Structure formats: C-alpha cells, structure tokens
Amino acid sequence: MAEAEAFRIDTSRPHPARVYDWWLGGKDNYPVDEELARRILAVDETVLRGARGNRRFMQRAVRTVAEAGIRQFLDIGTGIPTEPNLHQVAQQAAPDAKVVYADNDPIVLRHAEALLRGSAAGSTDYVHADVRDRDTLLARAGESLDFAEPVALSLIALTHYLDDDPAGDDVHGLLKTYVDALAPGSYLILSQVTPDLSPAAIAKAAQHFHRSGLPFHPRPLAGVNRFFDGLELLGPGVIPVSGWRPEPEDVAAQAEGIVPVYAGVARKP
Ligand SMILES: C[S@@+](CC[C@H](N)C(=O)[O-])C[C@H]1O[C@@H](n2cnc3c(N)ncnc32)[C@H](O)[C@@H]1O
C-alpha cells in the first residue's frame, strides 16, 4: 500500500474501528460505518452490550496485571479513544506504567494525541502499524518498552479480523511470534468473538461483515484457547467476557445476559 493511502481516511467503506465506535455510542464514525453497525445490531442484539463488556474487561484485566507488578503495556488494535483508555487504567494503578498503543487505522492515528496524555511518571506512545507487520511494530514499540522485562501484550477484540490461513494471516502462528518476543513473567490479554453461544446471529453478522468487504473470523472456544498455548491462564480461564473476574459495577451488565465474546488473561512462565 502506498504510504499516503495508509494514512487516508476512506469514508466509502466501513472500518472496524469506526463501526465499533458507533456501537459504543461514539461520534467518530461515518454513515457507511453506522449502516453496517445497524445491520449487525439488527441480527445480533447483544452487540452493544458486547462492546461495552469488552471495554470493561480491558479495565479489569489491565488492573489485574498492574497489581501483579506489570509496568509495561503493548496494546495492539487500540481503537478510537474511549474513556477510560488503557493507559489511564494502567497509570491509575501504577503511575509509572509505560504504554504503547498500535493500530493500522488512520482514524485511530488521527486521535492518537488523546491517547498520549499520560501520567508524568509514566509514558505513552503510539505506533501506526499493522499487527501483521510484527518486526516493524515491535521495533517501534521497543523505542519505549524494554522487551527484556515483562510486558502485558493486549489484543482486545482484534483477532477476529485475522484469518487462520497458514499462507495468509496465520493468526495463531503470528501471535506465537509476539509471545516468543516477550520476557518470562509477561502477560497476554485477549478477547475475541465466538460463534459458540449464538451461532445463527454470529453467522448473520459475519455475512454482513463479508458483504462490506471486511474480514471476520469468529472462533470456537478451542480456537481461542489456542492463543494461550504454552502460557499459564489466570482463573477463571477463557470464558464469556463479562464473567471474567467481574466487579460490583459489572453485576447489572451480567444480569442482562451473556455476550458472544470470549476473554482470557495468561502469564508467560
Ligand atoms: C473492535 S476494535 C477494538 C478496540 C479496542 N481494542 C477495544 O477492545 O475496545 C478493533 C481494532 O483493531 C484494529 N485492527 C483491525 N485490524 C488490524 C490490523 N491488521 N492491525 C492493527 N490493528 C487492526 C481496528 O482498526 C480497530 O481499532
């Protein structure tokens, strides 16, 4: 892709970051994004709760690993800023936390400034990169983070945009190369859409993504568990997102019902 093209905001077709922003009630989306977001909402009524539940999981997971002593965070597939952002959660728990964000969408880059206002004691950085360009992404992240020390790597609601094809994205192989680059004591935080809980709705949602030219790869539990191969899963393991170590604020959302997104956190031994 030409460099100028990588930075151009294309309003002629939907983008995952902007569709997700619409579900979260944000304003950084275009009619084409809203159209796809509404189509998916019409076939999967859990999608708004799923997006909110996913943001809440990010907060609980980041606090959990910060409390376990993690001071470095690499968040890939960051999305359009939505308060509280990951660095705010991490730096509230540990003001000296260093956070690097990475996303390949030009609209996220345009908002990067909002992601870079961190605590004085810590640091925040933004890398405009595709997760599939692992070497470039890690080299840039390495300007802020020390990969000889533990890092929490988060891919939250990202992997369902990547395929399994060994000649394509090879998402499990790709993730393994990221985990291999992490020091012992690092963590992987991951969530992704599954067809397990509401297969008909997720199949229809996938059709809408595909018709819009977007990849979408929901994965069953075994496929999500595979992301954590070789790592020590924290309790309660990989489970629907709202059930992952819920806090009192999550009780009402849990009562609204389960959402088809799995989540887990694991430590590299
Ligand atoms: C559904 S949003 C999730 C945002 C945030 N992680 C959260 O869970 O609230 C998915 C994000 O992944 C980004 N993304 C999709 N494919 C990507 C890729 N190949 N490389 C980097 N980022 C990607 C999108 O631009 C979008 O911002």
Into how many domains does the chain fold? Answer: 1
Pocket test for ligand 1, best of 57, 103, 244 (most atoms within 8 A of CB): 103
Residues with CB under 6 A from ligand 1: 16-17, 20, 54-55, 58, 77-79, 103-105, 108, 130-132, 156-158, 161
Q: Residues 61, 243: contact at Cβ < 8 Å?
A: no
3-state SS track over the chain: CCHHHHHCCCCCCCCHHHHHHHHCCCCCCCHHHHHHHHHHHHHCCCHHHHHHHHHHHHHHHHHHHHHCCCCEEEEECCCCCCCCCHHHHHHHHCCCCEEEEEECCHHHHHCHHHHCCCCCCCEEEEEECCCCCHHHHHHHHCCCCCCCCCCEEEEECCHHHCCCCCCCCCHHHHHHHHHHCCCCCCEEEEEEECCCCCHHHHHHHHHHHHHCCCCCCCCCHHHHHHCCCCCEECCCCCEEHHHCCCCHHHHHHHHCCCCCEEEEEEECC
Q: Residue 116 has what pLDDT?
A: 82
Mean pLDDT on 162-166: 96
**CATH number, domain at 222?**
3.40.50.150
Q: Residue 2 has what pLDDT?
A: 56
pLDDT band of residue 112 (cuts 50, 70, 90) is confident
- Pick the more confident residue, 2 or 202: 202
Residue 110 belongs to domain spanning: 3-267
* Ligand 1 center–CA 171 separation, angstroms: 14
4 has pLDDT over 80? no
pLDDT band of residue 118 (cuts 50, 70, 90) is confident
Rounded to the nearest angstrom, the gap between the alpha carbon of residue 23 and the centroid of all alpha carbons in its chain is: 15
167 has pLDDT over 60? yes
Residue of minimum CA distance from atom 4 in ligand 1: 79
Residue whose C-alpha is closest to residue 175's, from 195, 196, 197, 160: 160
Long-range contacts, 109-114 (Cβ 8 Å, 24+): 109/7, 110/9, 111/28, 111/80, 111/81, 114/81, 114/85
Cα-based distances in Å from 151 to 83, 157, 178, 207: 22, 19, 11, 36
* Ligand 1 center–CA 90 separation, angstroms: 19
Residue of minimum CA distance from atom 9 in ligand 1: 55
Residue of minimum CA distance from atom 27 in ligand 1: 79
Lowest-pLDDT range, 32-36, 44-48, 155-159, 249-253? 249-253
Long-range contacts, 237-244 (Cβ 8 Å, 24+): 237/264, 238/262, 238/263, 238/264, 239/263, 239/264, 240/197, 241/50, 241/53, 241/54, 241/56, 241/57, 241/191, 242/49, 242/53, 242/56, 242/57, 244/57, 244/60, 244/61
Q: Residue 254 has what pLDDT?
A: 87
Q: Residue 114 has what pLDDT?
A: 78
pLDDT band of residue 7 (cuts 50, 70, 90) is confident
Q: Residue 3 has what pLDDT?
A: 59
User: Considering the entire predicted model, what is its pTM?
Assistant: 0.97
pLDDT for 57-110, tens place per residue? 999 999 999 999 999 999 999 999 999 999 999 999 999 999 999 999 999 999
Q: Residue 129 has what pLDDT?
A: 96
Pocket test for ligand 1, best of 1, 29, 44, 105 (most atoms within 8 A of CB): 105
pLDDT band of residue 220 (cuts 50, 70, 90) is very high
Mean pLDDT on 248-266: 93
